[in-house]
Amino acid sequence: MLKNLLFIALGGGIGSSLRYLCNIYLAKTYPNKAYIATFLVNMLGCLLIGLFVGYFQKHQTENEAFKLLLITGFCGGFTTFSTFGLENFNLLQSQNYILTLGYILLSIVIGITFVGIGIYLTK
């Protein structure tokens, strides 16, 4: 268990650091448009988690430590949106269309609402 947590922490630290560097670079490229940096990092994270999951499926790799390092750690540190994308893809693959739509809509609406509530509560 501790070994798994170390792999996740290592990957998460690398992913979080890379996200920070991407945001700095993209903020210079697109000043006053933080949403573009967030969008691009989130989409790159989705591509990366897809590549990692696809690779492990194709090669039937059972290396749990490497999966934890790259998928849970790195992608989780880089952007949790990639996990959100993977979960929705899996729901679509299992033909849970209504559940997928509900999950997407509720995540967005409730997420934005809770941000507002959090800001309101701190005023």
The SS3 of residue 89 is helix
Neighbours of 119 (CB within 10 A): 9
Q: How far apart are CA 21 and CA 109, in angstroms?
A: 29
Is 76 within any annotated ligand binding site?
yes
DSSP state of 30: S
For residue 62, give the DSSP letter: -
Q: Is 85 annotated as a binding residue?
A: no
Which residues belong to the annotated binding site for Na(+)?
76, 79
Which residues belong to the annotated binding site?
76, 79
